[in-house]
Amino acid sequence: MNRIGSFIGLFLSVSLVGCGSSDGLVTISGNVTFEGVPVENGRIQFRSLTGDMRAYSTEIEDGKYELALEPGQSRVEIYASRLIPGKTVEVNPGEFDPVGEMYIPEKYNSRSELTVSLEAVGGTHDFDL
């Protein structure tokens, strides 16, 4: 009786081993402000500077972001846009679309100088541009 019971226990424990996340990603979160004002709508991207330099991207909503990414050194790119009041362009015949602009300077995105070093346990990283 005891032996059979322990066999069942062993079987179940063996079959349940390995059920758990093992992708090596950590979750971080934080606030993003530009000139003191929270970035209402935008995107933040972390490009790992090690390995195959994979990128992880998420939306910034009301100045906040949260995403899972590789720990280690990362280059950070922050994008946010707004419409230029009153400006339109005729892109297809007879169709006028409002024109927007990306208002975050290049040094925070396409020519980013922002880097962070992420701990293996994740945490909070705020960006005040």
Residues interacting with other proteins, by CB under 8 A? 1, 4, 8, 11-12, 15, 43, 45, 47, 49, 52-59, 67, 75, 79, 81, 83-84, 91-93, 95, 97-102, 110-111
Write down the least CB distance from residue 35 to other proteins, Å: 18
Nearer to other proteins, 37 or 91 (CB): 91
96 vs 123, beta carbon nearer other proteins: 96
Min dist CB 125 to other proteins, Å, is 17
Q: How far is the CB of 10 from other proteins (least distance, A)?
A: 12
Give the separation between CA 69 and CA 48, rounded to whole angstroms: 9
> In angstroms, what is the minimal distance from the CB of 102 to other proteins?
5
Dihedrals phi, psi of 91, to nearest 5 degrees: -90, -40
In this structure, are strands 123-124 and 95-102 parallel, antiparallel, or unpaired? Answer: unpaired
Q: Going by C-beta distance under 8 Å and a sequence separation of 6 or more, which residues neighbour residue 125?
A: 28, 29, 30, 116, 118
**Closest residue by Cα to residue 77 from 108, 102, 107:** 108
